[in-house]
Structures are given as structure tokens and as C-alpha cells.
Chains A and B, each alone.
Chain A
Amino acid sequence: MSTDPWPSEWLRGVLDVCVLAVLAEGATYGYAISARLDEVGLGAVKGGTLYPLLVRLEQADLVTTQWRPGVGGPGRKYFALTPAGRAELARRGSAWRAFAGLTVGIIDPAAPPVAATPAAPPASDRLPTPRRTAR
């Protein structure tokens, strides 16, 4: 797990599309989303940041929720992507790739250009490549 998160102002812009990308892998629950984001290098996103974001995604009909019973407690709340959520992921994903390519081009003009694609890539390519490892 990474312990040195990216600047919060960067995360603020990209977190929702990353959460949508995690959910594109399949329905899952709060901590699993957080752990997956940490695993791919985004850092440990705390519950206090994650759940309000999930509420906004749910209110925008991008995700649906379902409580699944647990042993001796209220169980787990699972979040799943809706068709509108998949469409939003494709749209935002495409926009982010274009933006990231533009940014890289500005910072490092010698780097090969990153092309923006209009359609969503395969699920395995949707998450950023892990950049940070456990310390």
C-alpha cells in the first residue's frame, strides 16, 4: 500500500472517474474500492472521501447500491455501475486520456503523443498503471 498520496487537488479531479473504472471491473463494496485504488497507486482514499463521492455518483444514476447481508451485522453495501455509469466512464475516460496526453506533451515535448480514443478501453486498461509501491 502506498503511504504518500498524490496531491489532493489532483485527486479531486480524477477520483470519480477512477472509482467508476474500479466499478467497471464488477460490483464491489467501499473498502474494496479504496484498497483497489491504493493497489493501482492512487493512494489510500479514506472512507470520508469515498462515500460522499459514491453518494454523488448514485444520485447521478451512475451507480446502484445493494446491501448484502453479513454475519452478525448489517452486512456490506455493494456498488455497481449502471449503463449510464459505463457511458460516463467512456466519456470521462476519453477526456482524461486527451488531457493527460496534452499535459505530458506540455511537460515533456520529446515524449511520444498520447492519442485520445472516443470509446472506453478494455477493463484491464482502464486503471492507471501502478506507479508507487509499498514502502
Chain B
Amino acid sequence: MTDTQANAATIPQRWRDELVLALRMRDVPGPRIGEILAEVDEYCADSGLDAETAFGTPTAYAESVAAADGRTRPGVREDLRTTGRTLVGFLGLVVVMACVVDDGPDLAITVGWLVGLAVVLVGSVLTVRTLGYLAAEGWRGMVGVAAVIAATLATVVAVGVLLTTTVATVPDTVAVTFGAVLLVGDAVVGTVRARHRPTADVVSAPGEDPERVRRRNVRADTLAAWLLPAFAVVGVGVLLGMNLLLDRLA
């Protein structure tokens, strides 16, 4: 956990996380989020009330306080841009893993691949927006989000199985190189973004040194940026190992 740990003692972690998420989705800057958390912390400590009783649901309070701040939730275009950026590394991972799983020397790009990619993009945006609207609904909200994710995955699998017409054939070496470039490129961009993260985007409590919080967040974000490449390396290693084992057993 990297943000405003001082507040965690009195604000329930789940309420706090949902409030931070809802405020982030409305583009409220980090220091302002830290201040809002500190206000909740202060008021609850003084009044003896819990956060839900004093401030209502996190989503409703975020809506109210962000509206007072003159901020609204970003539109679909912004969500598409953000989600599209995060899908670059995911696409790299899928391409690399597909080449390893594929028996032949070439990777066949099918219509199902292309449609599936579009479905993943739309499904991711839907998931983010569903999360924003249903976060206050407790377990029912989580069921809603899970339903959107399940529907997205089911659609991706269905189009992958049904739409098998080959659009292009790419040699495995080219595809693996392309996938690796996407994976590493996304990780490098993620690292650069983490290192250049403006102090204004850091959630810090009033009185807390934003620079110290920023350094902590940069380390966490850099680690997160390299998770997909690490996952690819481990995944490829496991798959190649299993293939080797199966060959010897055969």
C-alpha cells in the first residue's frame, strides 16, 4: 500500500479504496484526494461516526465532493484511451504465448483474433465504467462487474473458435519479436511514466512529504510495469518445459 497510510487506521480500507477509485475516475488530483481522506479521517475521529454513516457511500460522496470541486467523470473517449494503452502489453503477451503454443512455424492471424481484440477493448471499458457505477452496491456491484468480465471472456473465446478465417500468416520469429517489442516497449513506457509522474498526481495526506510518497509510488508502478514481461518469461519457460517433458515421455 502506498497512499496515505495514516488514514487507513480510522477509515475502513474498503471504503477508502472505493473513495480513492471513484475520485481518481473523476480526475481529482492526488493531493486533493489525500486532503479529502484526511477530512473524512478528522471528521470521523471527532464525531465518533464511521465513514459510511458520516459521509454515505464512497461513490456518492466522491460524486458530491468532485462536483463541488467542479470535476466530472471522464467520458468514454478518455476511458478508451486509457484502456487502449494498457492493452498494448496484454496484446504482446497474447502474441508471444500464441507463438509458443502454436505447433507450426507460422502464426495464423484469424478474423477471430481481430474481433476478439476489439471485444477485449470494449469489454475493458465496460468493466471500468461498470466498476464506477456499481462500486457502491457492495457484493451486487462485484457480481455485476464479474458478469461483464465473464461475458467479455466468453465472447472472446466464442469469436476465436467460430471466426477461424485466416487474415494473415506471420512467421513465429517475426510474431515473437513483435510481441516482445510490445511487451518490453509497454514496460519501458510504463517505467518512464512512473518516473516522470508529476507530484500533483500523488495521493498524499496534508503534512506528508509528497516527494517521499512519490518515490514510493514510482517503485510500485515500475514493478507493476514489468509484471507482464515477467509473466511472459515465466509462461514461456513453463510451456517450453512442459513441451520438453511431453516429448521425452512420448
* Interfacial residues, chain A to chain B (CB-CB below 8 A): 29-32, 34, 46-48, 50-53, 55-56, 59, 67, 69-70, 73-77
Closest chain A residue, CB of each to CB of B10: A73
B55 at the interface (CB under 8 A from A): yes
Interface of A is mostly: helix
Q: Please, how many angstroms separate the alpha-carbon atoms of A69 and B46 in the complex?
A: 15
| Residues 30-59 of B contacting A (Cβ, < 8 Å) | 35-36, 38-47, 49, 53-56
Further contacts, 19 of them, CB under 8 A, given A31-B43, A46-B53, A47-B49: A29-B42, A31-B47, A34-B43, A34-B47, A46-B56, A52-B65, A52-B67, A55-B65, A59-B68, A67-B38, A67-B206, A67-B207, A69-B207, A73-B42, A74-B41, A74-B42, A74-B205, A74-B208, A75-B206
* Given A31-B47, A48-B64, A74-B40 contact (CB < 8 Å): no
Q: Please, how many angstroms separate the alpha-carbon atoms of A75 and B38 in the complex?
A: 8
Task: Collect the chain A residues with CB atoms within 8 Å of residue B39's CB.
Answer: 30, 47, 51, 77
B68 CB to nearest chain A CB (Å)? 4
Task: Collect the chain B residues with CB atoms within 8 Å of residue A73's CB.
Answer: 6, 38, 41-42, 45
**Interface digits, B45-86 against A, CB 8 Å rule (1 contact, 0 not)?**
111010001111000110011011110000000000000000
A27 CB to nearest chain B CB (Å)? 15
Task: Collect the chain A residues with CB atoms within 8 Å of residue B35's CB.
Answer: 77
Task: Collect the chain B residues with CB atoms within 8 Å of residue A47's CB.
Answer: 39-40, 43-44, 47, 49, 54-55
Q: Please, how many angstroms separate the alpha-carbon atoms of A59 and B67 in the complex?
A: 12
Contact B38 A77 (CB under 8 A): yes
Closest chain B residue, CB of each to CB of A57: B68
Closest chain A residue, CB of each to CB of B7: A74
* Interfacial residues, chain B to chain A (CB-CB below 8 A): 6-7, 35-36, 38-47, 49, 53-56, 60-61, 64-65, 67-70, 205-208
Q: Please, how many angstroms separate the alpha-carbon atoms of A33 and B242 in the complex?
A: 67
Task: Collect the chain B residues with CB atoms within 8 Å of residue A34's CB.
Answer: 43, 47
Task: Collect the chain A residues with CB atoms within 8 Å of residue B69's CB.
Answer: 55, 59
Contact B207 A48 (CB under 8 A): no
Closest chain A residue, CB of each to CB of B60: A48
Closest chain B residue, CB of each to CB of A49: B64
Closest chain B residue, CB of each to CB of A51: B39
Task: Collect the chain B residues with CB atoms within 8 Å of residue A70's CB.
Answer: 42
Most buried by B among A55, A59, A69: A55
Closest chain A residue, CB of each to CB of B38: A74
Closest chain B residue, CB of each to CB of A31: B46
A75 CB to nearest chain B CB (Å)? 7
Contact A31 B70 (CB under 8 A): no
Task: Collect the chain A residues with CB atoms within 8 Å of residue B61's CB.
Answer: 48
Q: Please, how many angstroms separate the alpha-carbon atoms of A31 and B67 in the complex?
A: 22
Most buried by B among A46, A48, A75: A48
Closest chain A residue, CB of each to CB of B35: A77
Task: Collect the chain B residues with CB atoms within 8 Å of residue A59's CB.
Answer: 68-70
A79 CB to nearest chain B CB (Å)? 11
A22 CB to nearest chain B CB (Å)? 15
Q: Please, how many angstroms separate the alpha-carbon atoms of A85 and B207 in the complex?
A: 27
